[in-house]
A and B are shown apart, each in its own frame.
Chain A
């Protein structure tokens, strides 16, 4: 097992991966704490939640790439899994506020506002972090499994599948918008105070959350890499290319699709859960159809079917988005559309494809590892 994991990368690949990991976990905090604020190399406190947010998006990009880039199943509903993870974490954070809300009640503020007298049953358990973690780990996957089982069993494919995932995210968004669904309506969950007793305003908490996000991203990457480098990964790309052939070779493709779909939703849920404490809010707009489409665009821009491409895409698009929404907010959507067209027309393999162009890859790549 360990040998298999070590073989996932060449020495250079691992060196680079661990270099980045080290830089994120040690170098950035050191630059924040020990370098004076006037220095060019100082990392200000506000950078950590911002970078943390990007890293959450990077996890989402890995998830979307596994199902779309590798297996050829385009999902335009991954915002749902992200939101399930996010809402679960949000509910825990709401309960951690205690009676320090505006209304000084034990109930979350929005419930007091709606004149609710007691906690709805589905909020039970979110007082406990362990229960919340369990929900974050299981619920997105279970939900995806059920949805996927019916969709894949009916052999819904391609654009039809994409459309029903859009419908799924839209339906859930409408559900969460309603006040009496019990998740804060269109305001969502916000005004969080602390996580596990640590104040969310505290710079060290922010740094801690950032470091945890880095570690989760790293593990997600290793897991994804393990999957795509295994025979299972080759079966997935084979399903993408000619599913019939895979079936006639004796594989139950339903199980394979269901497996990767569930793993993808699981990773997305983790990302959502990490996103909420760092951004400070979760509301139904995360389930807007456009949000899920944007996730697919990150992967298309970076490069489908390569994990590094997905990470790169999530980074590039979101940094551009942060810049645009400050400098020229009205033009962001135009730019995004433009970017998508350029990539589709000129860079079918995404930005990562540019590197391939300059370093023509040898077709005799060694796969047997002898």
Chain B
């Protein structure tokens, strides 16, 4: 087993997306808690008061510290880690452990895997230190001390550990002053002391932790189990109402969602977004919130598809007030259909491509702009056709139902390609109906009398007629009231 520990020293800063060239600081109770490189260059340090920081860097952007955001960022990283291994252990407040021993062969060896982890962390905007060792505690201690060491055996680990500062031991957290008095600075000093004396003076936990780090005692950790729902919050660096910025900020959360879904082999067909607007005053009524719901035609786990539909929806949305944070939640997770590659070059998986096309069209044009067609077994022409909205029905089911109905209706009389509904009355001149000139009746009549049972009775004689321009139209003479000739269709 090889455990890789990731320690996020600047999680307070990194959990808020920011531009690196702008000075930015995180404030807690009017005191600076963390400042980014540009702010530090201006002289801002942790512990200064907000007023002093603003005096040093007048263009400083600042934000209150929110533990919820840090927890959400850590959870997002845990989901990302699940893409590399099935054993991920979060170490709140700002670390996590990934069991990488089982993934070495897949990712091409320890060096390649560490490089890949580092690169992806940097791409997500986190500055982290990584270390790996055969024991979890050892890896954690190495990472928290900032040592970029990757001992592969216990002997190598026991050679590196003594060099770490004593503060790396969590059990020594309360004894910093005592250690300083006794002159204990590194783990080597702690190891040099007699074990019984250490246990009596500082507690059994310290000795046990040392043993676990060196591999003498078993070091069990509880792996993270993904919950049944996904929920995360993204903070925007500054309140905005630009759709492009919103879409960009949500991109990170959608990547987290994809990792989360793929780790649990699940898929989502509905995503709920809540856009929290900025408050009007400082401590006013709770901030207004715009709810947005994305529906997909099939359960999917692809971040690119989520992002595309979200971008279309955000384009169509008008925001009255600026948004300062976005909450994304997926209430229902569905099992994902595994995609198996085929040996032969496939002609293209028609189903998923077509459904993605419908999603895109619906996202931009609206659900009512896209309609399918269906026939209904009714003699009345206007009732014999239906245009249902394209819904999330499995294609085969719909096709089967339609095929049966079509088999009945194909046997009836000639029908026009285009339907004019409601029927357009035609002028009658000299006994002939007129539509762009006198019509010539060619075939007919087909008498349709039906529908007495639901209030729309029809009693008509249908004819096929030809206009002077040689277009074929479908007209009827109404046998009931109002009498006369009407145009019902055009034979396109």
The finding on whether chains A and B are genuine partners in a shared complex, rather than unrelated, reads no
B interface residue numbers (CB < 8 A to A): none
A-to-B contact residues, CB < 8 Å: none
